[in-house]
Amino acid sequence: MPPKKRLGDDEATIQQLKRRRKKNGEDVDFGLTDSVESDEEQLDITLEGSLVNGEVLFSGGTNWCMTGRSHLPKGVKNIGGRNLWGPHRISNLCGVRVRTVVSGCVACHSVIITAEGKVMTWGRNEKGQLGHGGTVRKDLPTPVEGLSDEVIIDAACGKNHTLFITEKGKVFACGDNKMGQLGIGHQSTCMSTPVKINYKGPPIRKVACGGEFSMLTDIRGNLYSFGCPEYGQLGNNSDGKYFVTSNKLSYTCDLVPKKVQVFIEKTREGHIIPVADVEIREIACGLNHTIALDSKKRVYTWGFGGYGRLGHSEPKDEMVPRQVKFFDGPTRGAVHIFAGSTYCLALTELGSLFFWGQTKSTGEASMYPKLVQDLSGWRVRSVGCCNKSIVVAADESVISWGPSPTYGELGYGDHKPHSSTVPQEVKTLDGIYIHGVACGYGHSLYLARADTEANREKLERLPIYTP
């Protein structure tokens, strides 16, 4: 029986590959910190975005300056905006076919991608995260002119930055870059127009953004990270801390995408075993933690461990991706993963939705995955994670819950409760089929079916939001 591979064997394996490829007269560039193999850099493929499309509906806070804040930052003027407690159509998107809606659990801005692959953004813009060449907030979806020549298939929103993927697997970034979260090779206050990240390798298929860091995965299933390493959320076995002076702490940020080399599991005895053959299929980020799903339906989490958000039954930070043992075993694998600011969710192959972490500022946290009992029997299709609230599209309904205070992201309506500690159906969307949902810090985006005249008639009964 061969010995189990040790963590330190990565370098030996690469040396073996070097010798073998050199013998065959091939390129031998296998640096441990290199992003990719050079013979994969020139792949010319076309990636597909979402195959569904519909009309965008919106509920939640539209006062982008004050969402999630008790006071305004210096130099920012409050333009105002109200909470939309029920789903609204957006005035300049009525009848526009959209295939993807994007936001993030710590984001106060949103991205939509039209059926033609054109991208529009709106919301908070103090760091240029909308990509419009300035820092003026937008109250309605506005085309990103800097990407007008590209076909965009997906995007991700961090606290103050945004990533966009083109159909060729290239990634463009804009917004705050003080921690290197744009991956462009240097740190700066902000980039208000999209710039291509500093990456050469296989086409990128998925992107995810945390508060001040970013993750990528390519078509080979490799995982890359960059930005702030404070709690180990980059997965490179470091929190990047160093002392500038005897009492001033700072962080060494990764300014370009670097490959995550090691995935581990821990036994009950505390032994660390590397996990082999990891091909990442999905990634999601909370404020300071990350969750990933591989081709074998295994789940990994790492970063800040407070309140059980990593699902390892302990509040310890993890510096490298660690397998969540709950999802390891026959019929226990996960098929989709989701992340909120301080919690995670996973949908298993049997259709069960599991939650761990904490959504309430008081009360007990779930230190390991627990079944969301109220959704047993529902066929979950899409999950959106706000800062504290959760919105789920399942069967013919939308279900949401979240603790107070909320901004309208639950979508219950003007004269209904504004929060709920248990999942409730969103009756304001009765009869409207929702393809998918995406959530920001305090708002929800719904992609509603609009294929038939009957669909459109139901949408026309909803109020229209005009700033």
The answer to whether position 251 is within a domain reads yes
By the 8 A CB rule, do 414 and 85 touch?
yes
Number of domains in the chain: 1
* pLDDT at residue 22, as a whole number: 45
Q: Is residue 64 part of a domain?
A: no
Look at residue 18 and tell me whether its pLDDT is greater than 80.
no
In the block, tokens 């036994």 appear at: 267
Rounded distance, CA 317 to CA 231, Å? 7
Beta-strand (E) ranges in 54-187? 55-61, 83-90, 98-102, 109-114, 119-123, 138-143, 152-157, 161-166, 171-177
pLDDT at 80: 86
Q: What is the pLDDT of residue 1?
A: 40
Identify the pLDDT of residue 84. Answer: 98
pLDDT (mean) for 146-160: 98
Whether residue 274 is predicted with pLDDT greater than 70 in this model: the reply is yes
Q: What is the DSSP string of 284-304?
A: EE-SSEEEEEETTS-EEEEE-
pLDDT at 73: 86
Q: CA–CA separation, 45 vs 258, rounded Å? A: 22
Question: Does residue 25 form part of some domain?
Answer: no
Confidence of residue 160 (pLDDT cuts 50, 70, 90): very high
pTM of this structure: 0.90
Domain membership flag for residue 238: yes
Please, what is the average pLDDT of the chain? 91
In a domain? residue 398:
no
Q: What is the CATH number of the domain that holds 298?
A: 2.130.10.30
Using 50, 70 and 90 to split pLDDT, how confident is the model at 291?
Answer: very high
Domain annotation covers residue 134? yes
Model confidence pLDDT, tens digit, residues 119-136: 999 999 999 999 999 999
The pLDDT of residue 63 is above 50: yes
Question: What digits encode the pLDDT tens for the residues 370-427?
Answer: 999 999 999 999 999 999 999 999 999 999 999 999 999 999 999 999 999 999 999 9
Which of 242 and 423 is assigned the larger pLDDT?
A: 423
Structural domain contains residue 287:
yes
Instruction: Give the domain range for residue 133.
Output: 43-57+97-111+120-393
Q: Are 183 and 190 in contact (CB under 8 A)?
A: no
- Cα 361 vs. chain centroid, distance in angstroms? 22
- The Cα 84–Cα 106 span in angstroms is 19
| pLDDT at position 56 over 80 | yes
Token pair 């004269």 in the structure block, residue:
415
227: left (phi over 0), alpha (psi -120 to 50) or beta: left
Q: What is the mean pLDDT of residues 48-72?
A: 94
In sequence order, what are the beta bridge partners of 88? 58
49 domain residue, yes or no: yes
